[in-house]
Amino acid sequence: MTKAEQLEAVAILVPADFSDHAVARIDQTFNRIGIERADPALVTEEMRRAVRGIASFAGISAAMMDALPNLELIASFGVGYDSVDVGHAAAKDIMVTNTPDVLTEEVADTAIGLLINTVRDLPRAETWLRDGSWAKKGNYPLSRLTLRARRVGIFGMGRIGQAIARRLEAFGLPIAYHNRRRVEGLSYQYHDTLKGLAEAVDTLISVAPGGASTQKAVNAGILLALGANGVFVNIGRGSTVDEAALAAALADGTIAAAGLDVFADEPNVPKALLDLPNASLLPHVGSASEHTRRAMADLCVDNLVSWFSDRRPLTPVPETAHVKARP
């Protein structure tokens, strides 16, 4: 049997609403099995016997893994994988992969665009032109905020955080950061607490991953430390922010403005944020270009191909890097 024939026999479970490009490649290479959502209650006896891999946007729970006794690999689409129970996967020797690097520059571009939109109020200025206010009422009001003389702090100095920092250096802005630990080789000022970082800067960009350790890390105290001239941008995970505290801080002037691309309960955005004139809001479009999503889809499928042909992953997540392919 050729390698291609061997791959055609491998059953890959794909929950609905997956990348069309990834689905097309999986169909060409593997035996794709569709399912409405990643719910163990929907797993059939055929799936239990056959499924060896999952390709998914959605979270994969411990119960879903347990429902598939022959599962070897979860190919997660995206750099964040907090919705996958990686601890359970590691305990069961299930490999988990993600799609880092290929989206880094796109998300960093979006972060800078969102920061400028937030500070200079550009979406509202465009609306002023489009609705005829420029012709009827005159020039758009001067923006209260500017990037000039700002000090930027980055919460989460991983690949994307560093790409954002490189862009901000070109703006002539000083940069500091907070991580679980100092990053080797970086000259930016390091703060060992998020509060210390917020106190030292007036612009805080969150690129932190989700999970229990960062749940609502950006809270009322952090926003108070950022100050009345403060700008907060979140391009990481909505779960890292206390959204009620953020809405209150924007409403009462604790901070000046915020730009958000991610939310705790997507696509449901709190009305308290929607109603605020000093919040610039995007529908989670950080990596959402056709170019980048295609690259992410390819890496997702390439992990499946590499695992089931060469018995190795391309981009394993750290928690399952030790997992070996079954004989």
Question: CA 214, 218, 222 angle in degrees (round to 5)?
Answer: 135
Q: What is the pLDDT of residues 9-56, one digit of tens each?
A: 999 999 988 999 999 999 999 999 999 999 999 999 999 999 999 999
* Beta carbons of 268 and 238 less than 8 angstroms apart: no
Tokens of 7: 């791959």
Contact 203, 150 (CB under 8 A): yes
Per-residue pLDDT of the chain (327 residues; tens, 9 = 90+): 788 889 999 999 999 889 999 999 999 999 999 999 999 999 999 999 999 999 999 799 999 999 999 999 999 999 999 999 999 999 999 999 999 999 999 999 999 999 999 999 999 999 999 999 999 999 999 999 999 999 999 999 999 999 999 999 999 999 999 999 999 999 999 999 999 999 999 999 999 999 999 999 999 999 999 999 999 999 999 999 999 999 999 999 999 999 999 999 999 999 999 999 999 999 999 999 999 999 999 999 999 999 999 999 999 999 999 999 988
Tokens 């599962």 sit at which residue?
71
Cβ 37 vs Cβ 61: under 8 Å: no
Long-range contacts formed by 166-175: CB under 8 A, 24+ apart: 166/108, 167/108, 167/109, 167/112, 168/112, 171/147, 173/147, 173/203
Active site residue 266: yes
Lookup result for tokens 């163990």: 40
Cβ atoms of 261 and 110 within 8 Å: the answer is yes
Bridge partners of residue 189, in order along the sequence: 176
CA-closest candidate to residue 58, choices 89, 42, 37, 87:
37
Q: Which residue has tokens 């809405």?
A: 247
Q: Which residue among the candidates 72, 237, 243, 293 is catalytic per the annotation?
A: 237
Please tell me the distance from the alpha carbon of residue 56 to that of residue 54, in angstroms, as a whole number: 6
Catalytic (active site) residue 237: yes
Report yes or no: 155 and 205 within 8 Å, Cβ to Cβ: yes
**284 classed as catalytic:** yes
CA–CA distance from 107 to each of 63, 130, 144, 298 (Å)?
32, 28, 26, 18
| Residue from 21, 88, 284, 294 carrying the catalytic annotation | 284
User: What structural domains does the chain harbor?
Assistant: 3-102+290-320 (3.40.50.720), 104-281 (3.40.50.720)
Of 266, 291, 312, 322, the catalytic one is 266
